[in-house]
Amino acid sequence: MSSSGNTNRLAKKIRNQTSLTLSTASRLARQANIYLGSSVADAADPHQRRLEAHMAHVLASSFKDRQLNGALLGVREARPEGQSLELTLDSDMADEVLRELLPRFDHIYGGIRGVPGLRIRGDGDRVVFHDALGSAQVTVTRSDHGRMRLPSAREDEVLLWKRGPGGLSRDEGQEAEEWAESKGSADLRVRDLLMSRILRCPRLVNRTAEPHGFANCYTHYSGDLVIEWCCGDTVETLCANLLAHGIADGLPRGNAIELLSPHSAHLGDRTVILNRHASCLYGNKTWDVVDYIKKGYDS
């Protein structure tokens, strides 16, 4: 934040949008290092937000601590494209992003992995994910402008995404319906809005992965997404930057943000959970961990 005027305006915005006191809001505002006014551009269509939220949820639960090159969820850039979204994927993670998102039945797992109902159009250097049950879609490209490589079936997998738009199996249809009517979240509108925003502001959330090249993310159930890290931004600094970019816009005021401790915060009544460890988890072993992650992608 470049001036006291911007800091004061952000502090008032945070106070008005949350249940935080003005002194706490001011403390957060002083830690923001971006201008007020660059809000996340939300999709107007609730079905578009629901698809983006489901994609973010699946990527978080799939990648966990396997990010590379500081790209949380494998995403480097996000640009609104009319009513849809275009994502630039990290080139090292791009193939795995496609594999994790596209639905397949895993007989060993005993269920469906990926986003049920997700189908694709196009090939080459641009792939369009679209919802077989609606008009929502997300376009993905690689950061190195290379060709997107579609996944092949592994042992005991059935690739559901290769079926036509009307070809949802009963299990896939049930999975899609459960996400749309999930009992794991008290407010589906808040869940879809916040998780969609996490996908749409990668330059902010990627700050958690910047110091080591990776962070950790996971989910407990269909209503939350957790981001954990150990170095770089504090929880308050990350929250301040997210709030400056409109992460809490339109959320119920009382549940917008809860600062539990210097190391933990909840956004949207536990929809997004931010945890930062009090000390570094890796030290001089960081590059050994990075090499181990890279070998996993090469195998």
pLDDT tens digits, one per residue of 204-227: 999 999 999 999 999 998 889 999
Q: Please, which residues bridge with residue 265 across strands?
A: 259, 274
Mean pLDDT value across residues 163-191: 81
The amino acid at 207 = R
From residue 265, alpha-carbon distances to 80, 115, 274 in Å are 28, 27, 5
* Predicted confidence (pLDDT) per residue in 221-262, tens digit: 888 999 999 999 999 999 999 999 999 999 999 999 999 999
Give pLDDT, residue 170: 85
Angle at 121 between CA 120 and CA 122, to 5 degrees: 125
Q: What are phi and psi of 112, to 5 degrees?
A: -95, 135
pLDDT at position 34: 63
- Residues of the chain with pLDDT > 90, as a percent, come to 72
pLDDT digits (tens, 9 = 90+) for 147-156: 999 999 888 8
Helix/strand number for the chain, H first, E second: 9, 13
Tens digit of pLDDT for each residue in 109-163?
888 999 999 999 887 899 999 998 889 999 999 999 999 999 998 888 999 999 8
HEC sequence for 81-126: ECCEEEEEECCCCHHHHHHHHCCEEECCCCEEECCCCEEEECCCCC
Percent of the chain predicted with pLDDT > 70: 95
Determine the pLDDT at residue 184. Answer: 63
pLDDT at 166 over 80: no
pTM of the predicted structure, to 2 decimals: 0.94
Q: What is the pLDDT of residues 9-28, one digit of tens each?
A: 889 989 999 999 999 999 99
Q: What is the pLDDT of residue 1?
A: 42
Q: Can you read off the two tokens belonging to residue 85?
A: 């979204």
Output 6-14 pairs: Cβ under 8 A, ≥24 positions apart.
6/35, 6/36, 7/32, 9/36, 10/36, 10/240, 10/243, 10/244, 13/243, 14/240, 14/243, 14/248
Mean pLDDT of 61-81: 95
